[in-house]
Structure 1
Amino acid sequence: MSREVRVAVFRPDDERLRDAVELLDSLGATPVPDPMLEVEPTGRTPRTDADYAVLTSKTGVELVADAGWDPGEATLCAIGDSTAAVMREHGYAVDVVPDEFTSTGLVETLRGRVPGARVEVARSDHGSPVLTDGLEAAGGYVHETVLYELVRPPGSGDSAEMAAAGELEAALFSSSLTVDHFLDAAAERGLRDEAVAGLDDAVVGAIGEPTRETAESRGIDVDVVPDAADFEELACAAVEVAAPTYRE
Structure 2
Amino acid sequence: MSKPVVAITRPKDRAQKACEIVEKLGGKAFLAPTLDLKPVNTDSLKELVKRKDELDWIIFTSPTTIVSLNKFYPDFIKTLNCKLAVIGNKTGKLAEKQGLSVDLMPDDFTAEGLIEEFKKRNITGKTIGIPRTASARAVLPEELKKLGNTVILAEAYKSLFPMDEKAVKDLISKIENKEIDAITFTSPLTVENFFEIVDDKEKMAKLLSENLLTVSIGPITAKVLDKYGIAYIYPDTYTVPDMMELLFKTLNEKSNR
- Tell me the residue number matched to 2:6: 7
- Tell me the residue number matched to 1:228: 237
What TM-score, normalized by structure 2, do the two folds share?
0.86
Match of 1:35 among 33, 36, 39: 33
Match of 2:83 among 71, 75, 86: 75
- Tell me the residue number matched to 2:56: 51
Matches within 5 A, 1:86-235: 86-111=94-119, 112-154=121-163, 155=165, 156-157=167-168, 158-186=170-198, 190-201=199-210, 202-222=212-232, 224-235=233-244
Which shows bigger deviation, 206-215 or 159-168? 159-168
Cα distance in structure 2, aligned partners of 1:217 and 1:245:
26
What is the letter of the counterpart of residue 41 of structure 2? G
Cα distance in structure 2, aligned partners of 1:245 and 1:199:
16
Cα distance in structure 1, aligned partners of 2:105 and 2:245:
25
Say whether the 8 Å CA contact 1:53–1:74 is kept in structure 2.
Answer: yes
State the 4+ residue runs in structure 1 displaced beyond 6 angstroms.
none
Aligned length: 241
SS at match of 2:153: strand
SS at match of 2:23: helix
Matches within 5 A, 1:11-22: 11-14=10-13, 16-22=14-20
Say whether the 8 Å CA contact 1:163–1:196 is kept in structure 2.
Answer: no
- Tell me the residue number matched to 1:64: 69
Deviations 1:81-121 (A, max 9, x none): 22111011112222221222211111111124432111111
Cα distance in structure 2, aligned partners of 1:33 and 1:191:
22
SS at match of 2:90: helix
Point out where structure 2 has 5 or more consecutive residues left out of the alignment. none
Which shows bigger deviation, 138-147 or 105-114? 105-114
SS at match of 2:26: coil
Structure 1 residue 140 displacement after superposition: 1.0
Deviations 1:51-101 (A, max 9, x none): 111011111112112322246432111112221110111122222212222
What TM-score, normalized by structure 1, do the two folds share?
0.89
Cα distance in structure 1, aligned partners of 2:214 and 2:220:
14
Aligned alpha-carbon RMSD (Å): 2.0
Say whether the 8 Å CA contact 1:27–1:246 is kept in structure 2.
Answer: no
